[in-house]
Structure 1
Amino acid sequence: MRTADIVVTATPAREPLFNAAWVGPGTHIVSIGSDAPGKRELPSELFPKARLFCDLLSQSVQIGEFQYVRDEIDAGVLAVTPIGDVIERRALGRRFDNEITVFDSSGISLQDLYMADALIRAKASHR
């Protein structure tokens, strides 16, 4: 963890998998296992030290990693940027090299279908 550039968690965990202090500057963390109430992979202490992103905020605060910091998000203490805003260039992604970034993907089936279609089209165009 201390030397990782990218960390991806994809587990059915119900408690954090690591200590927030283990995350080094510039690390990008993707959590995809928290997709139901009570599931959790990341320590909440990490969030104030990081720039936060998600696929759909309303879902992320209900069933994703950010369900544990919903009050801080609602109060404006923590800001979460929808990844679509970054893709559409309405918001910045990583701003500097040593910034810690966290992406919580609680799972949007429409995005999965879009990616599957894009992969099928890419494969067909290479035949």
Structure 2
Amino acid sequence: MADAEEACARADVIVTATTARADTPPLFRADRIRPGTHISCMGADAPGKRELPPELFARARVFCDLPEQARRMGESRNAPEETVLTPLGEVLVGRAPGRRDAADVTIFDSSGIGLQDLYLGLALLEELDITL
């Protein structure tokens, strides 16, 4: 069985949904994340919680539900102040770019907006031409 460091070094997609605390080490080291990796994090949903190493934000493009909410109660609370948080909704409607390059490290800081989740699910079903 691979440990977290080894698994992260091999992964294309990482999803974190833990109860990790800010007073403990992050789940993995930033240098273990290779170019092109996408990370979806949703466990740091309250003050005092942290899953990602803060230095990872310096080399990642960060997307979120709502920047104000992500800064207040998401993983982005732990990001440097200058980190740009792009609302996922802006990408979905074409007002902001998503991944620009195959080597981009991307982070989605999910703090939860149900209506946006529903819209994204419907857009994916439409794209895949699936009828319910």
TM-score range, shorter chain: 0.7 to 0.9
- Residue by residue, what CA displacement relative to the aligned partner does 1:43-91 show, whole Å, maximum 9, x if unpaired? 111000111110111110011011123xx43xxx221100000000000
Provide runs of 4+ in structure 1 moved above 6 Å: none
* Pairwise CA RMSD: 2.1
Q: Does 1:47 align with 2:57?
A: yes
Q: For the residues of structure 2 that align with 1:112 and 1:102, how far apart are their CA atoms?
A: 16
Q: For the residues of structure 2 that align with 1:10 and 1:51, how far apart are their CA atoms?
A: 20
TM-score normalised over the length of structure 1: 0.82
TM-score normalised over the length of structure 2: 0.79
Q: For the residues of structure 1 that align with 2:11 and 2:44, how far apart are their CA atoms?
A: 21
Q: For the residues of structure 2 that align with 1:112 and 1:5, how far apart are their CA atoms?
A: 22
Residue in structure 1 matched with residue 5 of structure 2 by the alignment: none
Residue in structure 2 matched with residue 30 of structure 1 by the alignment: 40
* SS of residue paired to 1:2: helix
Q: Does 1:3 align with 2:10?
A: yes
Q: Which runs of 5+ in 1 are unaligned?
A: none
Residue in structure 1 matched with residue 21 of structure 2 by the alignment: 14
The answer as to whether partners of 2:89 and 2:116 remain within 8 angstroms in 1 is no
Q: Which runs of 5+ in 2 are unaligned?
A: 1-7
The one of 83, 91, 113 equivalent to 1:78 is: 83
Residue in structure 2 matched with residue 64 of structure 1 by the alignment: 74
How many residues are paired up?
Answer: 116
The one of 87, 102, 114 equivalent to 1:97 is: 102
- Residue by residue, what CA displacement relative to the aligned partner does 1:4-31 show, whole Å, maximum 9, x if unpaired? 1000001111142110010000000000
> Do the aligned partners of residues 5 and 113 (structure 1) sit closer, same or farther apart at CA in structure 2, a change above 3 Å counting?
closer
Residue in structure 1 matched with residue 4 of structure 2 by the alignment: none
Q: Percent identity?
A: 52
